[in-house]
Amino acid sequence: MALRSIVYRGSELKIINQLLLPGELKYEDIRTTEDAFKAIKEMQIRGAPAIAILAMLSIAVESKDLNVLIDREKLRRLSKLDYLHYLKSQTDYLCSSRPTAVNIRNESDKLIKFYDQLIDHTEIELEQSVDMLIKEIEKLPEQDLNLNKSIGKHGADAIIDYWASKDASVQQFNVLTICNTGSLATCGYGTALGIVRRLNELDKLKCCYATETRPYNQGSRLTAYELSNEKINSKLICDNMVASLMKKETIHAVVVGADRLVMNGDFANKIGTYQLAVLSKNFNVPFYVACPLSTIDTVKQHGDEIVIEQRPSYEMRFIGSTRIAPDEIECWNPAFDVVDCELTTLIITEVGSIPTNSVTQLVSKHLTNI
């Protein structure tokens, strides 16, 4: 059974502390937006969809606490404009936790737009308006789970159709992935790993190869944990083994996630994704990026505009508490790299699969409200 990275029950919000996996499965309480910011910043939770949902749910939990902590007399003296100011301030704060992923900003903008529309309705009191906002936020986990399953279906169909047209004798597929894009990165199914799950459900998966994903090891710590937990046939490889693997074994597809997809089809994902795309091109392996529509940045036109988060040097100098590099060596530790659009075979979203040159049309059709 897929893990749930986020557990939300009314005023109770918990996350799996992913820093402790695979050794310990522990849930941490999130009571405030400050708790959420810290959890996202310190990577107790990661994955573009998951961090956006956690950020929004932390606002819901904090808003419920406001309704409890502020007495009704004082609550009536506040205005909806006061709450809107709070909402904008807290979403800006949460967006600063991880600059590369766009999902938090996109979800924040939708939330602010929703609440802003309530301002002019004088018949709606502050307390009722906050309750309406909370109910809107509470829809997000189930929405994420459903759209992830749609991504899984569209991605699996794309791989099956590709090989049906190329070599119909191929009935099961070796798939390669990087980082963690499964239930731990979402609300319970996954984007790129959701495609792997769907292939496995259809008995179409031969083996899922997962890269360890240095230096934070999301592949070895998290993806390997998920695959083992669900008994999906899989193998873990080091990042520098990909070329040898593609030379030795037939890899039928590479599936990866994205933290930000821009209008020309370029996208940012975990560092190491770019080299997978280059190698896929060299070995004629179809390369798919799986991401929800909330990952699309409708403002940025080109991958060069994406701000890449720089991580601290200790992540490279240590594995756990074991030093593997001297303090004297300078470290360059970008968390993400950018894949050029021409290296991608298809973009897989919850509304279907599209070529990379169709992002503008996709936005026009589905994201005109953002």
Q: Which residues are catalytic?
A: 259
Look up tokens 């959701």; give the residue: 194
Burial of residue 309 (CB within 10 Å: 0-12, 13-18, 19+) is middle
Q: Distance from first CA to last CA of the chain, Å, rounded?
A: 34
Cβ count near 53 (within 10 Å): 26
| Angle of helix 126-137 versus helix 80-95 axis, rounded to 10 | 30
Q: Is residue 326 reached through a cis peptide bond, with omega within 30 degrees of 0 on the bond before it?
A: no
CB-based contact 251:41 (threshold 8 Å): no
CB-based contact 141:6 (threshold 8 Å): yes
d(CA 187, CA 145): 6
265-301 burial, b for 16+ CB within 10 Å, e for fewer? bbbbbbbbbbbbbbbbeeeebbbbbbbbbbbbbbebe
